[in-house]
Amino acid sequence: MELQHINVKLYLQEPQAVKLDALVPVFHGWIQNRVCEELLIDVADYRHVHAGPGVVVIGHQADYSVDNTDNRLGIRYNRKAALQGTNRDRFSQALRAALEACQRLEVDEKLNGALRFDRQNMRLFVNDRMLAPSGAHAAGSVQAELRDFFADVCADPDVRMNFDGNPRSLFGVDVTTAKPVELDRMLERLR
């Protein structure tokens, strides 16, 4: 199965400490300073939506957001444009973009260190129901590929994966490592 439109979400450790309104000028700075490889266009504020998208940087090829989908606050990278290469290439690109966003947010002076991301749990999902319908068939066709990818990137041969079996959800997998993995180390393995 060839996957496109890969999304990665990395969760915040202490979501109650986060003030989403502080992200609006930070994300505007990303646009002005062109800090991402994608063309970023605008910032949308959806804080009023319960368990929703939060604050979103809208881009041409991808969006970045600190969203609260499923009542779990985290940074989400949403790849919208198709990418050439293998599934592993697309997994790598999306995870690298999400990790780089985490690093930028954790060290941003405007946020005063309020954001710290979980180093053991993440979610990878496909925002395209036509390419990857949720269910056992899709999970079975890419399970080994995803296990190898996350075992390599996280340097954890015992990485745990839990596929979302809800047919109403996007095809996705929750990934948990046995020990915390540092963002820098993961990024090194993705280059």
Q: For residue 138, is pLDDT > 80?
A: no
Confidence at residue 191, expressed as pLDDT on a 0 to 100 scale: 84
Largest CA distance in the chain: 45
Cα angle for residues 22, 23, 29 (degrees, 5° grid): 115
Residue 84 exposure: Cα atoms within 13 Å on the Cβ side: 0
Residue of 170, 79, 65, 72 whose CA lies nearest to 121: 72
Q: Is pLDDT of 136 > 70?
A: no
What is the DSSP-derived secondary structure letter of residue 16? G
Q: Where are the alpha helices (DSSP H) in the chain?
A: 23-33, 87-107, 136-154, 183-190
pLDDT, tens digit (0-9, with 9 covering 90-100), for 56-99:
999 999 999 999 998 999 999 999 999 999 999 999 999 999 99
Q: Is 40 a residue whose pLDDT tops 90?
A: yes
Distance CA 42, CA 54 (A): 14
| Mean local confidence (pLDDT), 32-41 | 97
Reported as a single tens digit per residue, the pLDDT across 12-33 is 998 888 889 999 999 999 999 9
Q: What is residue 28's predicted lDDT score, i.e. its pLDDT?
A: 98
User: What pLDDT was estimated at residue 1?
Assistant: 85
In this predicted structure, the answer to whether residue 133 has a pLDDT above a threshold of 90 is no
User: Domains of the chain: which residue ranges?
Assistant: 6-190
